[in-house]
Structure 1
């Protein structure tokens, strides 16, 4: 019996140790972590942490290899008993263990390649197009057959082995096979558990609920209301007919952290002090109450659900009572825990599930990996759970669905890409597997990008997000919440597709900058329906507008105003929208030739608090970063742009209605005379400086 246990357990364990050692060696020989590089002198402080993180991932690799290897000898044992042939030997147990690992890994890789190829490509260290011949042979039915065969061989073999062990009065072996059967059955069902239940009881609250559905980097011109040639957003379009679409809502800074903070706190970035995506610990403590804290005081249950794009909801102290949000993505400790590429690639095959979320969240929430369907399901579950309480609730779902690298799940990534396309942007935008390649891509012009295919991928992402929006709306109605729930659809910013000579967001502010306009839709009880509010408003106006809709007191010390009084007759509030650019990762095309600049992101970032590992802008460069920002002011028609150069400021004027990308400053001196004092006052205010 000892020999049998040796072959059943110790042989798979030894094989798993050897494979883990081989994988770790390969990973170290071509070490490439996620995130931007930083100065060696700083990264050296984290050597011990990096070693421990590497050992942790290696340990999980060993556990997974062992878990995959165990069924091999069991299947061989059952076959030998059934056929009355020779029992297990060392050689055939080694072969069986390796075969089990190979088959299970092949299934996991094929599953990812078909359903979420972005997950594989982001950690790949070779030309991903080499996998296209295999990808073309994959179908959902073939994968289902492959999986069914693996299960049909493994679990019955374990049951047969338990039966023969029982007949042979070998209780220890019998218990082992029973435990194995139960464990594998539990893991398979637990990992694939999906709940979409309706509430058992209804909330007794007479207050209104709020469901916010946000998405990173959604351009407003992709919504069907703008007659885009692809009908991507039928569900978002339905929301427009049920409420108010703010067609000209401007974010003051088109980067996620400052934009979301302005949206919820109703403050300009210079007042809440978050003016880039790298706030320090002092900046994350907001100077006053925001929408979430105000609702908490009114008895609301507040919850945030997000993937890597919404890590700021945890990093910045908004006050959400319940959070299903990853850690700060701009943190060297997190980046080190994600490990080197090959180790990360192997583990990613087994972490796009509940196991990954609970035990390896740094890989489950890996930047660029689409989680749209996961988050949509979690949002619906949260709606159900909170509906059963007696308190009103606010749920804020924020996804990276439309964020670069524009990866979507099956079958969405196939919707618009030509069948014969075989370029590097087949599944995601080009090769963006490292921060250095992202910087290189941002510094390059249109001629180096396959723009038509990038837009195909982006449109696929928009379509997937819209379908998830539809599922959430349907769930709200099935829960009986339509008449007492406000639905808010929003984005933090749009994105440029070389309209301003570059791609990305918040880089130049030139003309009718597509990254500055955000989709904002509010619908619910008491609001006018099918209203297109075309006047300029700002994302800072959302918080006071929402409080006004709820009948709550609006704080006095905010920068935004309530738009509710202007909605019923669609009147113009005559507001000015101010903007500033974000932090450039490199030398961005489209900048003024004499633009004030600063070092690249490698030199720019530092870690003042070694204990936390948070990446922030080096304080010695921060004044230059602020000085170098382009600023603008705009109303319904005109936009005046301020560009700081080494020879003094340069101003440009754009007619947003008639010629949105041509500088017409020499043609309209009266408009400049009206707007420049307002812009200069905003730029040179002591509080802003």
Structure 2
């Protein structure tokens, strides 16, 4: 039995309680590490990758493990200290260790239950892959328990603690009660900002100083209380002061690019059971120009955004997949490939990016943002995430379920299963509040619609079947090596999850637009709604996902709307354009608006001049290509059409010099990937797809209007076949400097390009 140690220890937090907390933390950390370790990401086994990574960078693994344990230890110790305060003031100076541990465990379980109801996707792998026998408990919580119930219980517990402290202070007005209030305020401040290293140092100082707090004058305690309260207010005060530095500039309205990963065009205004999926976007498009036939150049996030923000094709700037080499990613933002943000910087604009896990592409290249509020992605961060996800008692604190926490590990922002947009909206509103209507842009990129489709409570219930109980109840686990088609009930559930995720993004969109209206910024702002790509959802034989093939409308056809300032936009203009447009049109359009000349020829077109036309006068063609193929197995139709190369886990390399980023650096593999890509050219009615195979080049031609699922191949007998084939070859030769070997397109090699970047 542990006893009180020494006459000088602080009675409000004796060393005995510290030891109990340490034992509790070590036990549960090891317990969950042994029995809850996962080597999957969105259902994909990355065990081999982590083994390679841990073998090469074991020291990094140890440091990240220590980091996660330090957070866990601080959180447990904080709760132990708060629980003991109540016992102390109730004159129970030596409670049994198991009583303290039991109360702490119950408090953490309440926080866990609240988090499970709000974000069940975070716990999906635990309940559906490792311990499926416990899944009915998760069903019970999400079916019958509102997150409000455990939250109220937690508030009551905290209320008892605070009530005890306030009452003791009122009765005695002694140093111990003042010290206890300071203790609670310090822990709260550390919790809000996630400053766990400061918290651990604070606990060490408390134990080291012992009873010396008795030497502090009561008046000093009062000053310390005022100081702590001021520290709570600093972010708001600083925002108000900082906003005084910025003022509006005539002709330079704030620009908001509001986007979502995987948002399909056909879902805008789509009705489900008599209810629109996108009520806020539906209202917005009444004020905006809508381009109804808009297509992304490549249905993968990194190269799609690179194309959108440079106005150049991936085949020219060479960022063609999610894992570009250092030489390739350095081309983005170079003198040869400046971004929209860099063009507008010359006019005095500042630029910000906000996003969740799919926005990890923004910190990985020089897009021209002054600040990026989005997660990064590298092997070190993946290790932190995998380790943190094992600690389910700590997860509620790491994702903000416990009284506005969620700042302890910035790596958790990159969780693919954490689809909550609330934290993104806070960052958006904070920036808008500070910058007001000064020259700046915000690129907001939500990942809630990206697989595994993870809208938070209550949105995951919006369109899903409440009577469905299976592994897709809360999210769509993804395994690119699994070619088995889900049954009809599962497909319906997956599509409903996707629709619910769209509804969740629409709510985020409505919050942002509403905030801009509240701040009287909406009318004179430029607001753009778009997406990086769409998503296949088991239409015909297309499977689920994006970037694997170019059949059908689902993966490249995305929304594109622009609301110009009210002083520029006139009601006489037709607000609907039906001609085909491309994501590379954004840069020429905005540069045209600001009267900035293009420094060279661009593949895109300014849309300003045609917005009142309704369609192109000429027959326009737009280009798209596939992404990298993550898997080299499966029975999908597109697997049979491929020139094979190893899967992503075999291609990648962790590069320590690039902050442990995961890259494909082998030039032979990179050229093979580029050579193997499927490519398409399409106009308003037809789509031609170029498919290189080991047996030769195959072509598919589809009528987009009559055959949107691309089932009936019209090649080579249709009159448009030769014209579109020639247009495709001309486009690739022009913008990639490609050459021809028979019918094969031979991409230019990066090593052959001699430019000053």
TM-score where L is the length of structure 2: 0.82
Counterpart residue number, 1:18: 23
State the Cα RMSD in Å.
2.9
| Aligned pair partner of 2:542 in 498, 501, 517 | 501
How is 1:307-318 mapped onto 2 (pairs within 5 angstroms)?
A: 307-318=356-367
Residue number among 511, 527, 539 corresponding to 1:471 in the alignment = 511
Q: Kindly indicate whether the alpha-carbon contact (under 8 Å) linking 1:496 and 1:503 is maintained by their aligned counterparts in 2.
A: yes
Partner of residue 654 from structure 1, selected from 695, 702, 726: 702
- Matches of 2:407 and 2:388, distance apart in 1: 21
Looking at structure 1, the residues matched to 389 and 528 of structure 2 have their Cα atoms a distance apart, in angstroms, of 41
**1:325 aligned partner:** 374
Whether 1:150 and 2:157 are equivalent positions in the alignment is yes
User: How many residue pairs were aligned?
Assistant: 665
Contact between 1:273 and 1:283, CA under 8 Å: does it hold in 2?
yes
Quick check: 1:216 aligned with 2:264?
no
Q: Unaligned regions of 5+ residues in structure 1, if any?
A: 81-86
**Does structure 1 residue 44 correspond to structure 2 residue 55?**
yes
Note the C-alpha offset of 1:491: 0.5
Asked whether 1:387 is paired with 2:436, we answer yes
Aligned to 1:527: 569
Q: Pick from 630, 646, 653: which aligns with 1:585?
A: 630
- Inter-partner Cα distance in structure 1 for 2:296 and 2:356: 22
Evaluate the alpha carbon distance shift between residue 570 and residue 415 of structure 1 in structure 2; reply closer, same or farther with a 3 A threshold.
same
Aligned: 1:633 with 2:678: no
**CA gap 1:683/1:571 in 2 versus in 1, 3 angstroms:** closer
> What per-residue deviation string (whole Å, max 9, x for no partner) do you get for residues 527-552 of structure 1?
35662211111100111111212333
Range with bigger deviation, 604-613 or 570-579: 604-613
**What is the match of residue 183 of structure 2?**
180
- Within a 5 Å distance, the mapping from 1:4-15 to structure 2 comes to 5=10, 8-15=13-20
1:307, distance to aligned residue in structure 2 (A): 1.3
Looking at both structures, which has the greater relative contact order when contacts are Cα pairs under 8 Å and sequence separation is at least 6?
A: 1
Distance 1:414 1:592, change over 3 A: closer
Q: Deviations over 1:87-118 (max 9, x none)?
A: 422xx241342133113211211211222222
Q: Per-residue deviation at 1:680? A: 2.9
The answer to whether the 8 A contact 1:490-1:520 is kept is yes
Corresponding residue number in structure 2 for 1:451: 491
Structure 2: give runs of 5+ residues left out of the alignment: 195-231, 739-746, 749-757
Shift of 1:231: 0.3
Return closer, same or farther for 1:373/1:574 CA change in 2, 3 Å cut-off: farther
C-alpha distance in 2 between matches for 1:470 and 1:42 = 42
Does the aligned pair in 2 maintain the 1:257–1:312 contact within 8 Å?
Answer: yes
| CA distances 1:210-249 after superposition (whole Å, capped 9, x unpaired) | 1111111101111017999640112111222112111111
1:538 corresponds, among 576, 582, 596, to 582
Which segment drifts farther, 37-46 or 621-630? 37-46
Q: 1:502, 1:665 → 2: CA distance?
A: 22
Quote the offset at 1:371 in angstroms.
2.9
- Is the contact between residue 54 and residue 61 of structure 2 (CA under 8 Å) also seen in structure 1? no
Partner Cα separation in structure 2 for residue 267 and residue 45 of structure 1? 37
Question: Take 2:93 and 2:272, find their aligned partners in 1: how far apart are those partners?
Answer: 68
Structure 1 residue 608: Cα displacement? 4.3
In the alignment, what sits opposite 1:603? 650
2: CA distance between counterparts of 1:103 and 1:53?
28
Q: Distance in 2 between matches of 1:453 and 1:475?
A: 33
Residue 296 (structure 1) shift: 0.8
CA 1:33/1:157 → structure 2, altered by over 3 Å: closer, same or farther? Answer: farther
Q: Does the alignment pair 1:361 with 2:405?
A: no
Structure 2: distance between partners of 1:228 and 1:494: 23
Q: Distance in 2 between matches of 1:142 and 1:195?
A: 30
Deviation at 1:652, TM superposition (A): 0.9
CA distance in 1, matches of 2:609, 2:405: 48
Q: 1:540 to 1:227 in 2, by over 3 A?
A: farther
TM, length-normalised to structure 1: 0.89
Q: Give the distance between the partners of 2:89 and 2:406, measured in 1 at CA.
A: 34
Give the structure 2 partner of residue 84 of structure 1. Answer: none
Moved more, 470-479 or 453-462: 470-479
Cα displacement (A) at 1:152: 1.9
Give matches, 1:26-41, under 5 Å.
Answer: 26-30=31-35, 31-33=37-39, 35=41, 36-39=46-49, 40-41=51-52
Q: What is the distance in 2 between the residues matched to 1:159 and 1:270?
A: 66
> Equivalent residue of 1:482, what SS?
coil
